[in-house]
Amino acid sequence: MSAQTTDFVISRVFDALRETLWACVAEPSRMKEWWGSKNCKVVAANMDLRPGGFYHYGMQMPDGATMWGKFVFREIVPPSRLEFINFFSDEQGGKTRHPLVPTWPLELLSVFSFDQEGGKTRFTVRWRPHDASEEERSIFESDAMRVSMQQGWNGTLDQLEAYLASIR
């Protein structure tokens, strides 16, 4: 067995109250407005926010194809913490492999935390492979994928920042 995988962590402070930021994640109508990669649009969003519940979404890519993803919620502590398993899925919600990186971990354990800092909120995303093979852990740890995760999450957080500015 290999050494423990290093979590991927990204954090940003937003000019919003914790409850507002929580609502942006806990309400599918709001998630549709900012979730996902730049130049992509959420075209389907269904959420059952409870332990064992889910968020299932479809994201239209710039080429017109729809990519599906799903969260299965494990722990929900409004407005401070959300823990879930996330994975690529099909339109019916079944697990699928990453469409571009087939050795990407089938499942990721994700923790979103919301920490009030004065009138602002620090939003932190923590990711790590869940029940992953050595090959999946290795690709997750690779420099190229770490750069890709950083770029992808920064783009998503930029969209969240723009959405928050639009509702002020």
Interval 51-93: pLDDT, tens? 999 999 999 999 999 999 999 999 999 999 999 999 999 999 9
CATH of the domain at 121: 3.30.530.20
In a domain, 126, yes or no: yes
Q: How would you list the strands of the sheet with 66-77, edge to edge?
A: 8-14, 120-129, 108-117, 81-89, 66-77, 54-60, 41-47
In a domain, 83, yes or no: yes
In a domain, 85, yes or no: yes
Interval 38-53: pLDDT, tens? 889 999 999 999 999 9
Residue 4: DSSP 8-state: P
pTM of structure? 0.94
Residue 34 is part of which domain span?
Answer: 8-167
In a domain, 3, yes or no: no
In a domain, 152, yes or no: yes
In a domain, 74, yes or no: yes
In a domain, 1, yes or no: no
- Whether residue 79 has a cis bond before it, omega within 30° of 0: yes
Q: Provide mean pLDDT across the span 105-127.
A: 97
Bridge partners, residue 96, by sequence: none
Total domains, the chain: 1
